[in-house]
Structure 1
Amino acid sequence: MNSSYERPLFDYISFCKHFNINEIERIIKTVDKKSKIKIIKDEIYNLFINENTKFTHLYIPYQFDRQLHLIPGVDKCFSEIRFLSCNAKINLNVLPGLIEVFKSIRELELSIGASNNKYEIIRLIKTSKNLVKIRLLNEYYSERSYCKNLEQTLANHADNILYLKLTKQPITNFVFLLFLHLEKLLINCKDLMGLYFNFDNSYLNTYVHWDNFFETLAKSSPINLFRFKFQLYEAPELKSLKLFFDNWKGRHPMLLQIIQDKDNLNFHAINTMRRYYDLIEKSKAEGIVKKYDDNLNGITFKDFEWIQSK
Structure 2
Amino acid sequence: MELYNNGIDLFTNSCERLTYNYISFCRNLCLSGLSQIIYTSHIAEPFKRDKIHRITGAEQCFSELEYLYCSTNTSQEILEGFSTISRSIKKLEFDVSQIHYNAGIIKLIESQRNLNYLSGNLGKKDVSFCKVLEDTLIKHANNIQYLKISWEPVTKILSYLGNLKSLEINSRHITNWDHLVNASTPNLKILRTQNIPSKILANFIKNTKGHLTEISIQFPMYDREDKYPGENNNSLIRSIYENCLKLQYLKLSINNDDIAEFEKLFINCQHLDGLILNNSTRENFNWVDLFNSLTRSAPASLYKFKFIFNGDILLSTFSSFFDNWKRNRKDSKPILLKIFYRMDFTQNHKVLFNEYKNEGIIKTFSYDPAEFGFDEFEWT
Normalising by the smaller structure, the TM-score range is: 0.5 to 0.7
**Which of 175, 180, 185 in structure 1 is aligned with 2:184?**
180
Looking at structure 2, the residues matched to 88 and 31 of structure 1 have their Cα atoms a distance apart, in angstroms, of 19
Q: CA deviation at 1:78?
A: 1.8
The CA RMSD over aligned residues, in Å, is: 4.4
> Quick check: 1:245 aligned with 2:270?
no
Q: CA deviation at 1:110?
A: 1.7
Q: CA deviation at 1:125?
A: 3.1
* Counterpart in the other structure of 1:215: 242
Q: Per chain length, whose mean CA-contact separation is higher, i.e. which structure has more relative contact order (CA < 8 Å, sep 6+)?
A: 1
C-alpha spacing 1:304/1:233, structure 2 compared with 1 (3 Å)? closer
Q: CA deviation at 1:271?
A: 2.6
CA deviation vs aligned residue, 1:40-59 (integer Å, no higher than 9, x gap): 646xx8xxxxxxxxxxxxxx
TM alignment of 1:149-228, pairs within 5 A: 149-154=132-137, 160-171=143-154, 176=180, 180-181=184-185, 183-186=186-189, 195=190, 197-201=191-195, 203=196, 205-209=198-202, 210=236, 211-218=238-245, 221=246, 227-228=248-249
CA deviation vs aligned residue, 1:242-288 (integer Å, no higher than 9, x gap): 44333334xxx43223253xxx82135x737775432222234x525
TM alignment of 1:1-310, pairs within 5 A: 14=23, 18-30=28-40, 39=46, 41=48, 66=51, 68=53, 70-87=54-71, 90-113=74-97, 117-139=101-123, 141-154=124-137, 160-171=143-154, 176=180, 180-181=184-185, 183-186=186-189, 195=190, 197-201=191-195, 203=196, 205-209=198-202, 210=236, 211-218=238-245, 221=246, 227-230=248-251, 232=252, 237-249=258-270, 253-258=271-276, 260=278, 265-268=280-283, 271=285, 275-284=289-298, 286-296=299-309, 297-298=339-340, 299=368, 300=371, 301-305=374-378, 307=379, 309=380
Look up the SS of the partner of 1:147 in the other structure.
Answer: helix
Looking at structure 1, the residues matched to 102 and 291 of structure 2 have their Cα atoms a distance apart, in angstroms, of 50
Q: Is the 8 A contact 2:67 2:89 kept in 1?
A: yes
C-alpha spacing 1:110/1:265, structure 2 compared with 1 (3 Å)? same
Looking at structure 1, the residues matched to 86 and 286 of structure 2 have their Cα atoms a distance apart, in angstroms, of 47
Looking at structure 2, the residues matched to 126 and 272 of structure 1 have their Cα atoms a distance apart, in angstroms, of 53
Q: TM-score, normalised by structure 2?
A: 0.51
Q: TM-score, normalised by structure 1?
A: 0.60
Amino-acid identity (%): 22
CA deviation vs aligned residue, 1:1-59 (integer Å, no higher than 9, x gap): x999999xx97955766544444443444467xxx9754646xx8xxxxxxxxxxxxxx
C-alpha spacing 1:273/1:98, structure 2 compared with 1 (3 Å)? farther
- How many positions carry a matched residue from both structures? 252
Looking at structure 2, the residues matched to 146 and 24 of structure 1 have their Cα atoms a distance apart, in angstroms, of 26
